[in-house]
């Protein structure tokens, strides 16, 4: 239960208590139950349509939130996962492969969190090592060679900052991905499905179109990290989340991303099939648009997209 959901759980507990009492004592309490259920529906809509940035951060971090591998079977047909960077090893925190979207062959790449303790350790909590980014780049270059569009799923707190990752060239692997993705001659569409953190997210995020789920976040640093750096107090993360403009709505208004995809009431985990359907609809729409552009236009438009983010004063 998240903090802002407590009123909903209080109502749910009252409903369960009345149902138990009705069954145990053989009394008719249906009118009271109906009133509470109507109140629950109203309160749910009220809460989830007025979420604060920190509330969305909490939803984006939910353990039960759908991952890349949860979405792929609902969006792509005949997906085959490919492994390894042809240099060091396969990185389970970064998955990729080939599938079909409405009959068109595509390459799919995404960061992958775990579903439990053991799986999170295996997936390194979705934080890729350098070999993960090199695997992603290998698959992107393969996609370019065979003229396959690329879809990337961003879902990470950031690239793994450990000693071994630094020794194997973490910063270089991400920097190379930025350079190479900027010049890919095929359509690239990225979507942030959970947390999009730091260079770890940007390492597979240089795309023609950037989409975000309604309750996802995209930022150069976590709210806790920002508050610790700015105010020397990580407990001010809630205030940092408000200030940083890291939600999908804020980033769309700032023209950093191209589309916000709405989530089912309560979050994507409440109806993964519907969420995947909405993502697929957005993918098809944007791919149809990008397929009309030449290779040179794709590169130029991708460059201009990132070149025009933000504003500056020459004085």
pLDDT at 220: 92
Mean pLDDT for the stretch of residues 292-303: 97
CA 257, CA 191: separation in Å to the nearest integer? 9
CA 129, CA 146: separation in Å to the nearest integer? 26
pLDDT at 117: 92
Residue 143 has pLDDT above 80, yes or no: yes
Please name which of 212, 189, 241, 222 lies closest in space to residue 52, comparing C-alpha atoms. 241
pLDDT at 300: 97
Residue 49 has pLDDT above 90, yes or no: no
Residue 89 has pLDDT above 80, yes or no: yes
3 state SS of 276: helix
pLDDT at 305: 95
């Amino acid at each position: 239960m998240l903090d802002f959901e407590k009123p909903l759980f209080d109502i749910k507990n009252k409903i369960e208590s009345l149902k138990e009492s009705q069954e145990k004592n053989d009394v008719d309490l249906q009118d009271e139950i109906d009133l509470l259920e109507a109140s629950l529906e109203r309160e749910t809509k009220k809460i989830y349509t007025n979420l604060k940035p920190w509330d969305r951060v909490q939803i984006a971090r939910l353990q039960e939130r759908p991952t890349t591998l949860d979405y792929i079977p609902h969006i792509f047909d005949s997906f085959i996962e490919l492994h390894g960077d042809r240099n060091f090893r396969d990185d389970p925190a970064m998955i990729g492969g080939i599938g079909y979207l409405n009959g068109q062959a595509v390459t799919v790449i995404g960061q992958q969190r775990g579903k439990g303790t053991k799986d999170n350790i295996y997936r390194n909590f979705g934080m890729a090592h350098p070999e993960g980014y090199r695997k992603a780049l290998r698959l992107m270059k393969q996609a370019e060679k065979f003229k396959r569009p690329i879809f990337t799923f961003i879902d990470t707190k950031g690239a793994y900052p450990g000693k071994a990752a630094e020794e194997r060239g973490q910063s270089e692997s991400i920097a190379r991905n930025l350079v190479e993705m900027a010049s890919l001659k095929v359509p690239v569409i990225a979507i942030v499905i959970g947390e999009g953190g730091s260079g770890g997210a940007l390492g597979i995020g240089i795309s023609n179109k950037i989409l975000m789920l309604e309750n996802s976040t995209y930022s150069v640093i976590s709210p806790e990290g920002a508050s610790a750096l700015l105010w020397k107090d990580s407990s001010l993360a809630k205030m940092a989340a408000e200030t940083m403009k890291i939600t999908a709505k804020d980033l769309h208004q700032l023209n950093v991303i191209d589309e916000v995809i709405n989530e089912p009431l309560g979050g994507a985990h409440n109806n993964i099939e519907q969420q995947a359907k909405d993502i697929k609809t957005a993918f098809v729409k944007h791919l149809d648009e990008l397929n009309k552009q030449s290779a040179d236009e794709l590169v130029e438009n991708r460059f201009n997209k990132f070149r025009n983010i933000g504003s500056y004063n020459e004085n």
